A and B are shown apart, each in its own frame.
Chain A
Amino acid sequence: MNYRGTPTNNHLVTASGHPSEGGATNAPSESRNPAIHVSRNAAGQWLARFDQLPPPIRSYALPLLATALVGVGVAILEPNFYRPANLHVLMQQYAVLGLVTLGQLLVLLVSGIDLSVGAVMNATLIIIALMNHYDEHLLVLSLVLCIVFGAAVGTTNGLLVSLRDVPPFAATLGMTAGVQGAILVYTKGIPAGNIPPSLRPIALAGIGSVPFSLLICLSVAVVLMLVLTKGSYGRMIYAVGRSPEVARRVGVSTTAVRVSAYAICGILAAVAGIILSAYVGYVDPTIGGTYNLQSIAAAVVGGVSFLGGEGRPAGALIGALFLLTVLNITTLSSLNPFTQLIVQGVVMLVAVSLFQVFKRRSLT
């Protein structure tokens, strides 16, 4: 159900499980080398075992394996990673990226993309700061307004994509410009106000060492998992992502499904914006700056396809964990800032490339 029926290059896969890459038959000298032969057989057997795993496990294998490998590597190279204080900070930061990535997952599942999540997060902070400028009696109202705003932005994105056939990239990028422009016009470039102290425990406090924000994120993830795997809405989401035409023919309202996906994405971006505002505790009008691309990267690393109809919440969350773990480790490593960027880029590229290899196999 959750895997695209894309044609696979079965004819390129040899009996031992190796993709021939069109060149396997041109390697007689290599096959004469016993060491290489044994190692190929071992790899082949390993991959054959991989092929026998159930599809859901196969699809999560790489992100899980990558995260586990990073975890082991970190234990050796940067033991400070496992300090409770660091894990607490990681959990605080993870909750925000996790929520945005779950929203992005829904949009990617319906063959879309949302580049306005960062702008929604910025607007959320501005709404909270301005409505609680002098006291906090409007806090609850401001939070409701943030969520309504996120839903409105998402719904507008969905309508533009579905009814006006605006490409998702253009629609959501235009929305970003519109929201950012509105923020600047309203604040004149200078956002007054402050983040109410009573909001901050959402991000800074929790049950034991687990922040409330992480509990919110995981609760949303569980609900999404149930909705996507057990309910008819999940089937419709995947159907619209795989083939809108077929979905339409079987009576699925592709417009309603797409709009709802964008609306939920907007709501989750608003919730993430609220939590990030509580975490940062200072009026930073560019608070959502990096979350557009980070959420997309996390989803892709977690096995979500740009083509739609492929991916799961658990994968998206694992992707977000992998991404944040890499960022956390490069920060802890005290590498030169330029080298940190290179390491982050290379690790991401390797992870995504390896994922493609595993994905091809999981589709066979």
Chain B
Amino acid sequence: MEMKMSSRPAVRKRFRQLFALGLVIPSGAALMLSACGGQSGGGGTKTPTVAFISQGTSNSWAAQLDAVARKTAKADGVNLVYFNGQGDATKQLPLIDQAIAQHPDAIVLVPLGAAADTGPVERAMQMGIKVILCNSTVNTDNYTSLVNPNAATASVPLAQWLVDKMNHKGNLLYIGGLPGNATTIAYDQGFNQVISQYPDIKVINGGNASYSISTGKQLAATAIASGKTFSGVWGVGGEAVTGIMQAYIDAKVQPVPPIGGGAATNGILRLGIENKIEVASLQFPPSDSKVCIDTAVKAIKGETVPKLINISALPEYGPILPPLDKYYKPQYSDDLYVGTDSVLTQEELKAINLLK
């Protein structure tokens, strides 16, 4: 009995030691491997290393972004070290410093926190590491290149399409994004720029969907049930627009007013075609991680890269306006963003659950 009692702390201590070893050994091995990863098999030429600090496993957009980045890195012949931000700014922040510690040739960062990420980005630049900001920015100009869709300009043709469809008058239901969020602010800038020119359009605020389909549907259902008639609807983000479309479909309102503002997904296109709803979407394409990686490779090679690459200004990333049939791909799931299938093969899309 006594022995048993006295052996317990020893067992616990042993367990703790093993647990600590279990943490330390793989971490050390991973660091060594990643440090060696920059060296090629023995030819002596150094394979460039790009640290890709992604939004990480959080949603379908990020999954497609990662898949395209990995494929592009392989095609470009660079060693891609992946850091998973898990969709959380606080989890992503320490990863930037971990990446800097490995001293890669370039960092491709998908910033989740504009203010918090600023310091690490400046530190990386001071150490001579090229920094490519992908799909969002930070609070400094001290970076190599910013590859970003510009929702402020991209939403203008959508808003213009919407007001034209409304014949420049009537009630417009507005379902917002996430208050204070940079993308939401950009969406609103483009929207307000157009709407302010049409005094006969009355904007009815329907609340903030916070990039949630469920919330978007609940808000739109409430607005529809209020008895007001809407000549057009604006939703900030693909989630809001999907929720709005579901609300109109379930409320059996006919005809459904034209809807603008979402980011183009196969699901929005499907709902639009199946239910004869006119929808205009912009592109916030995860496939632009190809441009991010390609830009990093060019910068590593010493080529001059633009300080700003406006994805929305590229012809392949223009607005998605009706008719929708030419964009819809019935063989793929609702989560496919327009453009991803132009970079990934059918097999690669199947591997990330995008093939039906």
Interface residues of A (CB under 8 A from B): 80, 83, 85-86, 88-90, 92-93, 184-185, 187-192, 194, 204, 276, 279-287, 289-290, 327-328, 330-332, 334-338, 340-341
Q: Given A89-B222, A190-B335, A289-B214, do A335 and B205 touch, yes or no (CB 8 Å)? A: yes
Interface string of B194-234 (1 = CB under 8 A from A): 00000000001111101011110111011111111000000
**Residues of B contacting A276 with CB < 8 Å?**
214
Which residues in B have their C-beta under 8 angstroms from that of A334?
A: 204-206
Contact call A279/B63, Cβ cutoff below 8 A: no
- In the complex, what residues of B have CB within 8 A of residue A328's CB? 222
Chain B residues contacting A280 (CB-CB under 8 Å) are 213-214, 217, 243, 246
Q: Which of B42-50, B54-62, B93-101, B103-111 contacts A (4 or more CB under 8 A)?
A: B54-62
Decide if B59 touches A189 in the complex (CB within 8 Å).
yes
In the complex the two chains form, what is the Cα distance from A47 to B99 in whole Å?
Answer: 64
The answer to whether B223 touches A331, judged by C-beta atoms less than 8 angstroms apart, is: yes
Query: What CA separation (Å) do A88 and B218 show in the bound complex?
Result: 12
- Across the interface, do A188 and B213 meet the contact criterion of CB distance under 8 Å? no
Complex CA gap A336/B174 in Å reads 10
Q: Are A189 and B227 in contact (CB under 8 A)?
A: no
Q: Kindly provide the distance from the CB of A204 to the nearest chain B CB, expressed in whole angstroms.
A: 6
Q: How far is the CA of A185 from the CA of B222 in the complex (A)?
A: 35
Contacts of B60 in A (CB 8 A): 189-191
The answer to whether the Cβ of B333 comes within 8 Å of any Cβ in the partner chain is yes
Chain A residues in 8 Å Cβ range of B267: 282
Q: Give the residues in chain B near A89, CB-CB below 8 Å.
A: 221-222, 224-225
The reply to whether A337 and B205 contact each other, CB–CB distance below 8 Å, is: yes
Are A331 and B212 in contact, CB atoms less than 8 angstroms apart?
A: no
Cβ-defined contact, A340 with B207, below 8 A: yes
CB<8 Å pairs between A and B, sample of 7: A86-B226, A93-B222, A194-B334, A279-B217, A283-B334, A331-B223, A337-B208
Do A340 and B205 have beta carbons less than 8 Å apart? yes
A290 nearest CB neighbor, chain B only: B215
* Size of B's binding interface in residues, CB under 8 A: 46
Q: Which of B205, B239, B251 makes the CB contact (< 8 A) with A336?
A: B205
**Residue contact B206 to A331, C-beta cutoff 8 Å:** yes
Contact with B227, one of A80, A191, A192, A282 (Cβ below 8 angstroms):
A80
Min CB–CB distance B263 → chain A (angstroms):
15
Contact B212 A338 (CB under 8 A): no
Q: Are B335 and A281 in contact (CB under 8 A)?
A: no
Q: Contacts of A190 on B, CB cut-off 8 Å?
A: 60, 63-64, 333, 335, 352-354
Taking CB as reference atom, which chain A residue is nearest B249?
Answer: A281
Whether A287 and B214, one on each chain, are in contact in the complex, defined by CB atoms closer than 8 angstroms, is yes
- Contact A83:B225 (CB < 8 A) given known A338-B179, A340-B207: yes
**B210: A residues at CB distance < 8 A:** 289
A189-B60, A280-B243 given; name 18 further pairs at CB < 8 Å.
Answer: A86-B225, A184-B57, A185-B57, A188-B353, A191-B60, A191-B335, A191-B353, A276-B214, A280-B213, A282-B243, A284-B239, A286-B59, A287-B213, A289-B214, A289-B215, A331-B219, A337-B207, A340-B208
Residues from chain A with Cβ under 8 Å of B353 in the complex: 187-188, 190-192
Taken together as a complex, chains A and B put the C-alpha atoms of A227 and B246 apart, in Å, by: 38
**Which residue among A189, A191, A285 has the maximum number of chain B CB atoms within 10 Å of its CB?**
A189
For A276, give the chain B residue with the smallest CB separation: B214
Q: Shortest beta-carbon distance, B228 to chain A, in Å? A: 8
Chain A residues in 8 Å Cβ range of B204: 334
Q: Which residues of A contact B207 (CB under 8 A)?
A: 327, 330-331, 337, 340
Chain B 51-77 interface 0/1 with A at a Cβ cutoff of 8 Å (1 = within):
000000111101110000000000000
- Tell me if B145 is interfacial: C-beta within 8 Å of chain A: no
Question: B242 in the interface, Cβ–Cβ < 8 Å?
Answer: yes
The 4 A-B residue pairs with the shortest CB-CB distance, nearest first, are A189-B63, A284-B213, A85-B225, A86-B225
Cα distance A189–B251 in the bound complex, in angstroms: 30
A332 touches which of B58, B226, B243, B356 (Cβ 8 Å): B226
Nearest opposing residue in chain A for B174, CB measure: A337
What separation, in Å, do the CA atoms of A337 and B225 have in the docked complex?
19
State A328–B225 Cα separation when bound (angstroms): 11
Whether the Cβ atoms of A286 and B214 lie closer than 8 Å is yes
Asked whether any CB of chain A lies closer than 8 Å to the CB of B262, the reply is no
CB distance from B343 to the nearest CB of A (A): 15
Q: Does B250 contact A (CB under 8 A)?
A: yes
Given A83-B225, A289-B214, A335-B205, check contact A281 B59 (CB 8 Å).
Answer: no
Closest chain B residue, CB of each to CB of A333? B205
Contact B62 A189 (CB under 8 A): yes
Please name all residues of chain B whose beta carbon is closer than 8 Å to the beta carbon of A188 when the two chains form the complex: 57, 63, 352-353
Point out which of A191, A192, A338 has the most chain B C-beta atoms below 10 A from its C-beta: A192
